[in-house]
Structure 1
Amino acid sequence: MPSGEVLVTCQDAALTFGRGATAVVAVHGADVDVRAGDRLAVVGPSGSGKSSLLHLLAGLERPTSGSVSRPGLDGPSAIGLVFQADSLIPALDVAENTALPLVLAGRTEAETRLPVIEALGLVDAADLADRLPEEISGGQAQRVAVARVLAQAPRLILADEPTGQLDHATGAHVLDVLLAAADRTGAALVVTTHDPAVAARLTIRRTMRDGRLLAPEEAP
Structure 2
Amino acid sequence: MTEQFLTPPHHPGQVVRCVDAARTFGHGDTAVVAVHGCTCEVSAGARIAITGPSGSGKSTLLHLLAGLEAPTSGEVSWPSFGSTAVERSRDIAVVFQGPSLLPALDVLENTMMAAVLTGTDEATAKERALAALEIVGVAALVNQLPETLSGGQAQRVAVARALTLRPRLLLADEPTGQLDATTGRHVINVLFKAADEAGAALVITTHDQAVGDRFDEQWEMRDGRLFTPVKGELL
- 1:157-191 Cα deviation digits (max 9, x unpaired): 00001111111111111111111221232210001
| Structure 2 residue 68 is the aligned partner of structure 1 residue 60 | yes
Q: Which amino acid aligns with 2:211?
A: V
Aligned partners of 2:24 and 2:35 also within 8 Å: yes
1:193 alignment partner in structure 2: 206
Q: Secondary structure at the match of 1:27?
A: strand
Q: Which amino acid aligns with 2:52?
A: G
- Percent of residue pairs bearing the same amino acid type: 58
| Structure 2 residue 133 is the aligned partner of structure 1 residue 120 | yes
1-structure distance, mates of 2:96, 2:162? 10
| Structure 2 residue 63 is the aligned partner of structure 1 residue 49 | no
Aligned partners of 2:136 and 2:194 also within 8 Å: no
Extract unaligned runs of 5+ from structure 1: none
Extract unaligned runs of 5+ from structure 2: 1-9, 83-87
Q: Secondary structure at the match of 1:96?
A: helix
Q: Secondary structure at the match of 2:164?
A: helix
Q: Which amino acid aligns with 2:111?
A: T
Greater alpha carbon shift after TM alignment, 101-110 vs 90-99: 101-110
1-structure distance, mates of 2:56, 2:165? 29
Q: Secondary structure at the match of 1:90?
A: coil
1-structure distance, mates of 2:61, 2:176? 18
Aligned partners of 2:218 and 2:228 also within 8 Å: no
Q: Secondary structure at the match of 2:128?
A: helix
TM-fit CA distance, 1:151: 1.5
> What does residue range 1-80 of structure 1 map to in structure 2 within 5 Å?
1-3=10-12, 5-74=13-82, 75-80=88-93
- 1:8-34 Cα deviation digits (max 9, x unpaired): 000000000000000000000011100
Q: Secondary structure at the match of 2:37?
A: strand
- Paired residue for 1:204, among 208, 217, 230? 217
Aligned partners of 2:89 and 2:118 also within 8 Å: no
TM-fit CA distance, 1:41: 0.7
TM-fit CA distance, 1:114: 1.4
Q: Secondary structure at the match of 1:77?
A: coil
Q: Which amino acid aligns with 1:10?
A: C
Q: CA RMSD in A?
A: 1.1
2-structure distance, mates of 1:101, 1:174? 20
TM-fit CA distance, 1:108: 2.2
Q: Give the structure-1-normalised TM-score.
A: 0.96
Q: Secondary structure at the match of 2:33?
A: strand
1-structure distance, mates of 2:218, 2:151? 28
1-structure distance, mates of 2:176, 2:215? 14
TM-fit CA distance, 1:135: 1.7
| Structure 2 residue 193 is the aligned partner of structure 1 residue 218 | no
1-structure distance, mates of 2:36, 2:196? 32
1:132 alignment partner in structure 2: 145
- 1:125-181 Cα deviation digits (max 9, x unpaired): 111111111121222111111110111110000000111111111111111111122
- Paired residue for 2:188, among 175, 178, 182? 175
1-structure distance, mates of 2:220, 2:119? 38
2:104 alignment partner in structure 1: 91
Q: Which amino acid aligns with 1:91?
A: A
Q: Which amino acid aligns with 1:23?
A: A
1-structure distance, mates of 2:220, 2:120? 39
TM-fit CA distance, 1:121: 0.9
